[in-house]
Structure 1
């Protein structure tokens, strides 16, 4: 059996910023389950007026439970439209209700969901979300459909969505159900399944809403959105620095995501012989994935450079595949070993995701391992000898022990929360008075400090002895001890260096959601699209639930 790659290779920010969606991505786990279990979907209510104001309820029925998206559509003045977290009004607001809401539930939710942070919800609600229209494209689509025409495909492809969410909250936010309430439900065991279901149902609502507004405007002359065009549209999302600290603050959870992916890659590399069907599947999806990359556009220099790297890597890979012997022993391992010497990290991770595609039986079960079930992970083992503690720090932070943490370039940046915008920020501690407000998002610096202090203790002294003298090191000890079962918990890069690129942290997390076509607008925020290409609920089947993420290649 091929071993998983070392965390020292996988967990650098440069590598994490090159990850792509895969079979294990959360959106694909959801559509696969829905199709396999034969979920049914029903429009429970659609009470929207000609101005696009009102509410709708969409219900998804699984084997054991029902979930309902409750959507509120608003007539939002342009001057109030904002994607910032401090916004107070949106074009649409949503909640995922546990079951089917009653009339009383709808009334209660109508007084709270449109207010978002200013409202309150109950344990019956699993998520809270909001979205804004892509205004010019929305108006163009309404006008076109109302007059009996389809919208311009070029305009649609340039944006990719008619609405974009600005937040999809779960896990207890605003009073919604805590993760523990749903964690043991089979359909919710994988991470972020409630959030992914929310967005999937929002996409259905958005299509219905725009067709409704077109009918209200055009009457009998109006037409529905062409099914092929509708399928290409996803739900947009604007994500900034608020997401970046997540992978630092949830080390065990992020470890589980990475470990599952690395285990999947190792399993496929260990396959002794590839069958003709597996080879054909891989080659087909390489062609389709290449088409997706060709349609991936960005104006940001960071992404332009990465796309150039990926394009060159794909050309190199395609040339190699022409003469590659898939019938040899362990062909995927041979292909991977070649890739490590000939492709950039961007191309390597693109290839890794594609190698998993023919092997659902080997890979898909790992999705149930990706949640954080280590309820005791935060408990410090005070009986641990200092010698073992030092060893664990070396294991996770060995690279950081040689860094000169007194050098300004290694500590230039500080994470803090803006009082005005209520959003995470990253600033230069030597240029702004922010050091006093720094968030604990520099585990490598803190680990090096704890290591230096622990070296002054006897090897047989205990961690409790150490923490009695240095209680400020408790968080480092806790993280170091997690390495015993979470080897991929720690980033092997400096999160406060002068040249830190937070966009790499955003992409790492979003790749596990399953998004494609990352479009950075700076090194600190990105626009993405979710569910583009996915079948709508009524059309989802075992035949189309899996590879919708890849566009059809030209024949």
Structure 2
């Protein structure tokens, strides 16, 4: 057996880090929502609602506390009576249907009074190190009114109407990591429950979902009195929290190469471990088959109006038909069945199908996969400092490994550098403009690492391999950020996108999809090539239902009995 054992390694960055593939990633066991839910269930977190002071007009405050083994976190929620003309999902909006903060511990009446003066103002307010995040949300007006009216009349809302929208409220921002005076990430990262990325933000959204359910039942009771019904548990479970994500998120994967590397590398290591399993047990095959069937059900309900996404969904459905047919011919008792399946997929399925399969083969192996969650944060303080003593020959090798392909592009071709990233003065968020049609070149942000690397490679010609980086940067300080990125690639091989981020045909939604897949989002619905709509925690158990039996596979819809 040892002589025929395949040499299974992680897939190379040159394959994984292409935008088309990053834009085809799916949630998996290492998605941040699932990491959080597993932890809360395994550690038997306790949930309570110490405050629910909402009047009959739907205005007031509520507090939801999650108590873990070592400390508590409380979502402080403020519900508002928002006039229709003020409702906007734009970042520059100044009023919302609901506003939130995550409080470190359990707030006192004094804390709540202070937060009431500031949290509804969001950016215009002030929060302290006792607050860990700041967020806001707006109603899906059509679905909200339908559900309130139905429950007030003692009826359940229409299932099809609920499935069409999927959420009663959508967040327009969830801010953490020190924004607006809130506690900085560095002060919290030593807490085990917050060490994996975005756990605080996921907890905020999870508790927000509970608040929204309670709020709409309260609104129905205020309208219908004693005849009002509670929302059916299965219908409530199908509702998530919506989110519309735009260009503001896209540069994240460029600006955080080590962190993004850690996400991708953890997933690739998990895939490698599954592919290295010598033989699949009957239980493993059963788990895989169950998740595959439920994924197919999920894909059958995945709709989009965006032409590119429509094509990808159609291709994925065709992939699933091919996969089902192929699996009928597989003997999972043969050596390395998951590796053989992945090899077949690379030759026969689209990137969507390959990446869905890559996620699914992880499902039977929590003992191989789940511990990698602790490797996904960026704990490398100081790793971004430049090593000035590095020989020029070494930095050239690093640049050519990551960006050798970029040096072959014609950067004088207007199509190659057609776009430019800049920060909008109005929204104070990244935007992508047409370089040769708008006066934005002077405001360009350093979000074109491939072009910059190509320029650095060109300027390095003529330097002796033994010359030092410090000498080179003394002459060419404009290349400091490129040299820093090259040196980071020694510890972050998956940190660089292997595509041109300013090309005329770049699709920023690929960057959005990559990040959101790690959040755990499903049913991506691009509204253009620059923003996408998602739903979070749809299907998840509510706090009073959470157990080790339902904490993890809720992301796959249940099959009809």
Q: If the length of structure 1 is used for normalisation, what is the TM-score? A: 0.99
| Alignment partner, residue 214 of structure 1 | 220
Q: 1 CA distance for matches of 2:213 and 2:240?
A: 10
Alignment of 1:445-484 (within 5 A): 445-484=451-490
Q: How far apart are 1:554 and its partner, in Å?
A: 3.3
SS at match of 2:111: helix
SS at match of 2:491: coil
Q: 2 CA distance for matches of 1:397 and 1:488?
A: 12
Indicate yes or no: 2:99 matched with 1:93: yes
Alignment of 1:517-532 (within 5 A): 517-532=523-538
Q: 2 CA distance for matches of 1:489 and 1:161?
A: 34
Alignment of 1:429-440 (within 5 A): 429-440=435-446
Indicate yes or no: 2:128 matched with 1:122: yes
| Alignment partner, residue 55 of structure 1 | 61
Indicate yes or no: 2:249 matched with 1:249: no
| Alignment partner, residue 366 of structure 1 | 372
Indicate yes or no: 2:145 matched with 1:139: yes
Which of 146, 152, 160 aligns to 1:154? It is 160
SS at match of 1:527: strand
Structure 1 unaligned residues grouped into runs of 5+? none
Indicate yes or no: 2:36 matched with 1:7: no
Q: Deviations over 1:362-414 (max 9, x none)?
A: 00000000000111221000000000010000111111111111111100000
SS at match of 1:76: coil
Which of 337, 350, 363 aligns to 2:343? It is 337
Alignment of 1:63-462 (within 5 A): 63-462=69-468
SS at match of 1:44: strand
| Alignment partner, residue 551 of structure 1 | 557
| Alignment partner, residue 3 of structure 2 | none
Which of 526, 544, 560 aligns to 1:538? It is 544
SS at match of 2:77: strand
Q: 2 CA distance for matches of 1:420 and 1:4?
A: 43
Q: 2 CA distance for matches of 1:377 and 1:490?
A: 16
Q: Deviations over 1:478-519 (max 9, x none)?
A: 000011111000000000000010000000000000000001
Q: How far apart are 1:422 and its partner, in Å?
A: 2.6
SS at match of 2:100: strand
Q: Which runs of 4+ in 1 moved over 3 A?
A: none
Q: How far apart are 1:142 and its partner, in Å?
A: 0.5
Q: If the length of structure 2 is used for normalisation, what is the TM-score? A: 0.98
SS at match of 1:543: coil
Work out the number of aligned pairs and report it. Answer: 555
SS at match of 2:482: helix
Q: Deviations over 1:465-489 (max 9, x none)?
A: 0000001100000000011111000
SS at match of 1:292: helix
Q: Deviations over 1:281-331 (max 9, x none)?
A: 000110001000001111110110110110110110011011111110011
SS at match of 2:554: coil
SS at match of 2:405: helix
Q: Deviations over 1:142-194 (max 9, x none)?
A: 11000100011111000000000000000001110000111010100100000
Q: 1 CA distance for matches of 2:382 and 2:49?
A: 42
Moved more, 323-332 or 83-92: 323-332
